[in-house]
Amino acid sequence: MVPSIPPNKDDFAALLQRVAACDQCAVHLPLGPRPVVRAARSARLMSIGQAPGTKVHQTGIPWNDASCNRLRDWLDLSAEIFYDETLVAIVPMGFCYPSVNPQGGG
């Protein structure tokens, strides 16, 4: 079941705190849990990517690789704007680095 958007900013903040503290998949994650999400209700643009890679896991900075530079160029956004969670929400489909996948993606 997909949760609905919380009705107020306090609920949204609580949801983000729950995501940040999540360790539900810890036994399956080779580097342990480190959910990487940046969002605010005020954001009008959302970047949705795959699961974080190892560099993102290590730094806690989403899209922290060359692909972000290209994405920001395409969007004509500075790093300052892109990483301002009140303007741009950055949400991966998987919150944590999952592992090395032989078919790609990490």
Domain spans of the chain, in order of start: 30-106
Helix H or strand E encompassing 71: helix 66-75
All residue ranges of the chain with pLDDT < 50 are 1, 6, 104-106
What integer pLDDT is reported at residue 18 of this predicted model?
92
What integer pLDDT is reported at residue 106 of this predicted model?
45
Task: Give the number of other Cβ atoms within 10 Å of residue 58's Cβ.
Answer: 13
What integer pLDDT is reported at residue 49 of this predicted model?
86
Q: Is 99 in contact with 56 (CB distance < 8 Å)?
A: no
What integer pLDDT is reported at residue 11 of this predicted model?
86
Q: Does domain 30-106 have CATH number 3.40.470.10?
A: yes
| Amino acid identity at 46 | M
The dihedral of CA 52, 54, 60, 64: what is its sign? negative
